[in-house]
Structures are given as structure tokens and as C-alpha cells.
Amino acid sequence: MSGRFRRAPSPSTWFPVVAAVAVLLLALIPTVATFATERLWYIDLGYLGVFWKRIEARLIAAVAAAIPVFVFVLANLLATRGPVRRQEHSDDIIDLHKRPGRHSLSRFALAVGAITAVLTGFAASAAWMEVQQFIHATPFGVSDPIFGRDVGFYVFQLPLIRVVYSAGMAMIVLVALGVGFIYLASGALVRARPQAQVVFGSGFERPRHRLGFSLEPADPGAKLHISILVALGFLWRAFGYVLSMYGLVYSPRGVVFGASYADVHGTLPGLRVMAALAVIAAALVVVTAARRRFSYRPLVAVLAVMAVGSLIAGEVYPGLVQKLYVEPNELAAESRFIQYNLDSTRRAYALDRIEEREFPLANVLRPEDLAANQTTVQNVRLWDWEPLLDTYGQLQEMRLYYKFSDVDIDRYLVGGRYRQVMIAAREMDVDRLPTQAQTWINRHLKYTHGYGVVASPVNEVGSDGFPVLMVRDIPPKGPAELGIDRPEIYFGERTRDYVIVNTRTEEFDYPLGDENAYTRYQGRTGIELSSFLRKAAFAVRFGTVKVLLSADITRESKVLFARQIGERVRRLAPFLRYDRDPYIIIADGRLMWVQDAYTVSSAYPFSERDSSGVNYIRNSVKVVIDAYTGEVTFYVIDPEDPLAATYSAIFPGLFTPGTEMPDAVRAHLRYPEDLFVVQARMFSLYHMKNPSVFYNKEDHWNFPREVYKGAQQPVSPYYVNMVLPGEEDLSFVLFMPFTPARKDNMVAWMAAKCDEADYGKMVVYKFSKQRIVYGPMQLEAQIDQDSEISKLLSLWNQQGSRVIRGNLLVYPIGQSLLYVESIFLAAERSQLPQLKRVIVSDGTRMYMGDDLSSALAAMAGGQRAGLAATPAPAGAAPGTPPAPGIPAGESPEELARRALSLYERARERLREADWAGFGQAHEELEMVLRRLAGRE
């Protein structure tokens, strides 16, 4: 019976296996849940192709690395199993051990090769983007000046080649060490050859013999195998020297970034010599291995020559060239390479597209200049975003759980006028709910979205010192051009939690008196929780069983996650760099977020790198996110950018041509501030196109400084509506002045156009170097030195209140400059800033008024704002002839009526912003008052 029946396995046999499988499955559950929910998220947004493309690209990179590694490792390990010649000397002291059998070594080779290939493939999968860029590389159409290779080779192909070189060298070394160890352990690598040695004793003792050893390869096959690997290592090192030659275009040795004179005439020849020596060493190793009698001496000699040559070629000779020739003649030696850097940097940062113009400055701002530039004057920005953000928060947040995160500057056509507008989104911040209300249902099912925006013109101030709200309240109220059909904000800058909509819990919409209004989400997006498995997957992903057990969640419920717009776009396109300031717009009745995206590289040859290591940048992509549905569209607005073209080829379904962007969105595109700052910093140095001037830094510019909130800070670029000098139409531009290095006077200013017709065009206006133009910090000093202004600010800045000096803005008006700074006053307790005064100056005169109009009126009239004409002292000389235009012999009553009429005319001209008419009426009024006072 015992031979016919088998005994069932005991629990002690299968239980560990089952337990191990169970533990493995439990460990995989979070990974599977994340994968499944991530796939659903991409399907929901219509980018499933992007999801699979990433997986496919990782697999391609992994397989492309794993297969050659597997073949290389397996072939070398299998080659070690050949027969070993037994030593013929019977008197050998050391006997050789037998190597492993063929079958055991084959299994060992397969196992090691497979493990090495898997590990290599896993590591290589991280370089999937480099592989895809190599495959889909787009030429730049520009070659480097040293080797004549297209820039695309350096940006798209050289990075992957360097990775392959490093991995290949590591693999050759490891395999060579492994094979050598196998041969050494088996006795195939060395054998002991006896050598007789005579040892003489002292005195008349007979000589004794001692056996010595001479080690040399025992198996010619092992000798040849090791030699081939060593030769391959030398050839691969020669390839590394070639790559080092290309790397000279990134050399930091010289005056500027990129290859220098010492690099080209010292390091480059040395690298060529070292590459040749490496090839010679490889050939020498193979020839030596093929000889019957093996000798290490030629190889040792070549290694010594290479070691010394590496030191001489890499350090000593280039150092001598630098010390003996370059330093005594640095400008002459480096001029050509400075020019390479100038040309490459200007191309890489698009500085070569900037138009440079001269600005003829007349200094004095006349009333007729104000009259001729009314469109600019009427759009002067008075509000700064920080005080305005506090004011919005106090006036329009309505409830604790609403929050304004930022104030954006844009422009809209309202009532037939092109108005510059400041706008902020009212987002939901569930962290501000009372502690007792911080429940899972409130955070994820009920308080799901923000509501509407607040907007106000940049140049209007109410009588109470607060902004004039163009769009306000809940539900939003405003002009038809700013009407909002979908004010709900499910996706924004503060929406970091996931939410589940269309549940049995009423979804809070907005406060309505003592009660609340409720709503249901009607967007196309959202992942339906239509099955138990979906609920379970999201329960695992979010780390809460409530998603699975909640009775409020139905089959129609949808989950919205990754709602923070920065996270949302980075999930889809992590290879782009994103601007720090996304902004909200009103387009066709919907709220949209616009996120600027950049294509960047640090591999552009000879181009100077910025503080982040980047030396090529383009704003080729605009990302538009619907604040209600979360739908994301990547628009390529610069199809000529090689990086954008390459990314489009890698992800064919991700990008949309910029020509398909809706007009309502296109009307609100802005030149991004982050890019503008990078370009402005580079241009402050690279506007110098002559190598000699650049070498001496004769005309280096800086960003100016200003006083803000009582402390000095660099001036930030600002968006303004203005008519640029020499042009007729009003433009929405990003503006930045420049000062010389270590000085405060202004030498130039830069503007980037944002309107559709001229989007992206940049203009720099330079002042004459023969005259001094005051910079922002010098105007700040004048404000501090003005007795009346400083006295008033000191009086306000007493305990219980705080004076906030706003940004000092500079506007070109005709052939003059208008400096404007707003003064805000905030109570320490309320934190509700009010705009109290506006200071204006043309660089020679300074005036302050309750608002911009009164300050400009004082400037046009030539007197301090709010001060009446000074009456004549008693006893003034009579008989002075009347002023022109004033009839002689008028009675005091007639003069008074004429003064009143002129005063009313001046006010009318002021309301119409007719500065020339205002100035004329003001002058006549002054004459009448002098006549009335008996001074004329």
C-alpha cells in the first residue's frame, strides 16, 4: 500500500509558500492601485497615449540596455569554461584546481547574466527621455564653431552617448574583474614555475637549494580572453577621450563659458594624443597575448606612458599654455572664443531678436506731453498686488474658508476701452474651516470648490481709498464683457485635496444670506466610482477605507484628484519647466488658468549658464486649464523651437498647435515674467557685442533697486499698458528699467510685448550716455528728502498705522519720463490698506496728490498739490500792467467771476485728461488771481 499511495504534504510544507505569496500580493496592492487609478486619470483627461508612451519608452530603454549587457556578460562567462592544460612538471609545488563543470558554469552564467541585465535595464529605464530625444532629435540648423556639429547633437544625442559610455566602461571593468577572478580561482590564470636558488651558509657548510616561483598564464585561452577584455577597455577609453573633446564646448576654464584658447590649443591636442595612445595600448595587448611567450612589460610601459601623458595633456600642458601665452595676451588670445560665447548665448536666450532703439530724453515733462500721451497716462497703474491682495481679502473673501492666493494683472476690452485689470481667484481653503468642521465629509464631499473672481482697474481709486471693483461679490457681478457662466473653481492653486462629487451629500456652492446654496458637479471630467474595484483602488490610493464604505458615494459619484494646477500639468509633462505664476482669465464666460511652460536645456555649446544651470530657454508652450472641469491643453506657440518639435514627435497626442487656441484665450496671453527676468539678466551683460568691451565689462547693467515696505529690494518687472515711444497704439507690455553696475542712475529699459499681433517682440530703449537719467533708487531718495512728503509720511507712520510705499514705476511720456509711486496706509489691526497719496515726478520736480489726477494737475500747474496760489504781500507796487489776455480796468467783481470761470474750465479739462487745456486754464487763472491781488 505504501508504494501505491503518496502521503499528502503536511501544513508545515506549504504554509511558508502560501504566506510568502500572500505577503507579496499585499505588498503589490498599493502599486497596482496606483497604476490602475493613474491609468483612469489619464483616460479621463484624454491622454492615455501619453501614459502608455512613458511605459513603452521605459521598456525600450530597459530592453535596449539589458540585451547587450546580457549577451556580453553571458558570452564572457561561458568563455571561461574551456579546458585547461595540465602542467607537465611533476615537481610543481602548487597543483591547479579543476574549474567548475560545463553544466554548472552554464547555469551560473545564465543566472549572473540575467540578474545583471535586469538590474541594468531597471537603471536604464530612468533614462527613457534621453533615449527618446536621441531617437527623435531635431536639428537646430546651427553648428558649433569648433567641431562643426549641429547643436542638436549636443542637446539630444551627446547626453545619451555619455550615459552609454559610463555604463559601458563600468560593465567592461566589472566583467573583466569577474572573469579574472574565475580564472584565478580555477588556476587557469597563473602557474607556478620552479626556479632553483642557491643559498650559501656560513663557514664551510655545503650549499642548500630553495625552490622559487615565476607566475605566468597557465591557459593560453584565459590569457587571450583577459587580453581581449583589457584591449576592449582601452578602445572604450579612447572613445571616452573623443567624448571629452566634445565636452570642451562646456569648459569653464577661460574668460567665458565654453572652450578657451588653452582648451583648443592645449587640452584638445592632448586628448587626441591620449586617444591614439589608448588605441595603441589595445593593439599592443592583443599582439602580446598572441605571442607564445607572455610578457607584461610592454603593457606596463604603455600604462605608464598613458598615466604620465594624461597628467601632461590634461593639466600640465594646458596650464603652461594658459600661463605663458594666454595670461600675458588674454584679450588677444580669447577674443575669438569670447565672440563664440557672445553669439551662442544671444541665440540660446533669444537675445539676438531684441530690437534696440535710442530714447531722446528732454527731461522736463510738459502739459502738452501729457495731453499727447493720454492713453498711457489713463492706464498708469496705481495698485500694487500685495496691498491689493490684503484689501481683496478683507472686502471680498466673505467667509473663512475662502482665500485669495495671488493677484494677477491682465487686460480686457470693457465698454469699448482697453483696460488693464487686476484679478484674483476666490479659492476654497478647507484648512481654514473651524477645527470641529474638519471632517472627512466636509473636506472631500461638501466643500469642494472655490467661487468666482474679483477684478478692479489698476488706475481707479474710490473716495474711501479702496479699489473700484469691476467684478465683485458672490455670485459675481460685473460688466457683460466680464460675465462668468461657470464661476466654480474645482481646480486652482490651493486645491490640493481630492474631492468626490455627485454624492448624496449636498455640495456647498456659495453662501446665500443666512443659508447656503448647493450644487452638483456637471463637468465632463471626473472618474466614476462605478464599481467595487474602483472604490477599493481609490481607497488604497488615498489611504482611507471611507471611500469604500461611505453610503454617500453612489455609482454616479466621481472622484477629482491632482487638482492643484501645478501638480496637474507636471504629471502630464514633467520634462517641461513651469513658470511660478499661473494666472486666471475670463474667457467666453468660463474661468481658465494659463500656465506658461518652458523648454530648457543645459547642453547648448558655448552658451552661458544661468544660476539654475540652464543655458537655453524658450517659452514654446502655453498650458490652459479649465478651472471647472480641469481639462488641460498644451498649445505649442513656437513650432520652430527644436525642443518643442522633438517633444511633439515623442508624444504625438500631447501637444496642440497654437493656431487652434481659442481667440478668447489668445487675447490674454502674457509674456512670462520668469523668462523675462532670465533674458533681462543675460541682456544686462550680453548687450555688449564687442569682445573687447565685453572683456572689460565696460557697460555692465544691473536691475535697479527701490524702497518697498521700508526696505530696499530689486525692482521686479511689471505689466503696464502704454504707448511705446515711436509707436501709436496702446500696448500691454512687460517692463523693466536698467541701471549701470554699482550705480543708481538709469541707462535703459526693456519692454516685451504681449498683444497678439506683436507677441514676444522685445525692445530695449537706451538713454544717451552724455546725460544722467535718475533711476528708481534716486527718486526714492528724493522722496525721503522732500520736507513736505517725508513730514506727512512720518506723521502717518505712527503707532497704530503703517505706511506702505508701493512700487516705483517708470513710464516714458513723449521725450520725458514719468515716475509714479503710490502711498498706502494700513491700520495695524485691520490690515486693510487704503491708497492715500500718489507721488509723481519727471526727474526734476516732485509732486504729491490725493490721486493721480491731482498729482499730475499740480505738476502741470507747476505748484504743490493742494496749495493755492500765494497772495501778494501788503503794499505791493500798484500800476503793474495787466497780463496778456486780461482786459485792463476790470473791477474786482469781474476778475472774481473770470477766476471762477477759469477754475471750472480747468476742472473740466482735468476730468477729460486734457493736460494742455488744463495747463493753459491754470496759467490764465494764475494771472487773474495775481491781478486780483494787485501784483500785476
**Tally of CB atoms within 10 A around 329:** 11
Any idea what the Cα angle at residue 737 is, between residues 735 and 742, rounded to 5°?
155
Euclidean distance between CA atoms 819 and 841, whole angstroms = 5
Q: What is the pLDDT of residue 663?
A: 94
pLDDT > 60? residue 88? no
Amino acid at 109: A
Q: What is the pLDDT of residues 17-52, one digit of tens each?
A: 777 777 777 778 899 999 999 999 999 999 999 999
Which residues, in sequence order, are bridge partners of residue 216?
A: 191
Band (928; pLDDT cuts 50, 70, 90): confident
pLDDT > 80? residue 15? no
DSSP per-residue letters across 210-242: EEEEEEE-S-HHHHHHHHHHHHHHHHHHHHHHH
**In terms of residues, how long is the chain?**
936
| Residue among 548, 467, 432, 461 at smallest CA distance from 500 | 548
Contact 820, 706 (CB under 8 A): no
Using CA atoms, how far residue 81 sits from 116, 175, 182, in Å, is 19, 15, 10
SS3 342: helix
DSSP per-residue letters across 582-641: -EEEEETTEEEEEEEEEEEES--TTPPP-TTS--EEEEEEEEEEETTT--EEEEES-TT-
Instruction: Please give the DSSP secondary-structure letter assigned to residue 315.
Output: I
Contact 876, 930 (CB under 8 A): no
Q: Which three cell numbers stand for residue 157?
A: 544625442
Euclidean distance between CA atoms 734 and 754, whole angstroms = 7
Q: What is the pLDDT of residue 874?
A: 33
Instruction: Please give the DSSP secondary-structure letter assigned to residue 492.
Output: B
pLDDT > 90? residue 676? yes
97/224: higher pLDDT: 224
For 41, residues 6+ apart whose C-beta sits below 8 A from its C-beta are 527, 561, 562, 571
Give the CB-side neighbour count of residue 597, counting CA atoms within 13 A.
31
| Residue 2, Cβ density class (10 Å: 0-12 exposed, 13-18 middle, ≥19 buried) | exposed
Euclidean distance between CA atoms 600 and 360, whole angstroms = 37
Euclidean distance between CA atoms 33 and 857, whole angstroms = 68
Contact 49, 653 (CB under 8 A): yes
pLDDT > 60? residue 202? no
Instruction: Tell me the average pLDDT across 454-469.
Output: 91
Euclidean distance between CA atoms 492 and 594, whole angstroms = 11
Q: What's the distance, Cα to Cα, between the start and end of the chain in Å?
A: 143
Q: What is the pLDDT of residues 833-842, one digit of tens each?
A: 899 999 999 8
Q: Which three cell numbers stand for residue 557?
A: 459619484
Instruction: Tell me the average pLDDT across 669-676.
Output: 96
| Residue among 205, 137, 131, 180 at smallest CA distance from 646 | 137
Place of cell 592544460: 85
Q: What pTM did the predictor assign?
A: 0.85
Place of cell 456637471: 522
pLDDT > 60? residue 209? no
- Whether omega before 475 lies within 30 degrees of 0, making that bond cis, reads yes
Instruction: Please give the DSSP secondary-structure letter assigned to residue 658.
Output: G
Euclidean distance between CA atoms 484 and 469, whole angstroms = 15
For 503, residues 6+ apart whose C-beta sits below 8 A from its C-beta are 445, 550, 552, 553, 554, 557
Q: What is the pLDDT of residues 382-407, one digit of tens each?
A: 999 999 999 999 999 888 899 999 99
Euclidean distance between CA atoms 302 and 230, whole angstroms = 13
pLDDT > 80? residue 830? no
Place of cell 486666471: 584
pLDDT > 70? residue 869? no
Phi, psi values for residue 915, rounded to 5°: -70, -35
Compute, in degrees rounded to 10, the torsion defined by CA atoms 86, 91, 93, 98: 20
SS3 771: coil
Q: How is the chain split among helix, strand and coil, in percent rounded to 5?
A: 45, 20, 35
Using CA atoms, how far residue 172 sits from 64, 164, 223, 228, 234, in Å, is 17, 12, 16, 11, 10
pLDDT > 90? residue 794? no
618/712: higher pLDDT: 618
Contact 825, 769 (CB under 8 A): no
Using CA atoms, how far residue 284 sits from 234, 300, 302, in Å, is 10, 11, 9
DSSP per-residue letters across 86-143: PP--TT-SSPPPPPPPHHHHHHHHHHHHHHHHHHHHHHHGGGHHHHHHHHT----S-B
SS3 197: strand
Contact 265, 271 (CB under 8 A): no
SS3 325: helix
Amino acid at 813: I
Q: What is the pLDDT of residue 633?
A: 97
- 39 alpha-carbon distance from chain centroid: 28
pLDDT > 50? residue 376? yes
pLDDT > 70? residue 292? no
Using CA atoms, how far residue 87 sits from 91, 222, 918, in Å, is 10, 15, 116
> 55-64, 196-205, 619-628, 669-678: which has the minimum mean pLDDT?
196-205
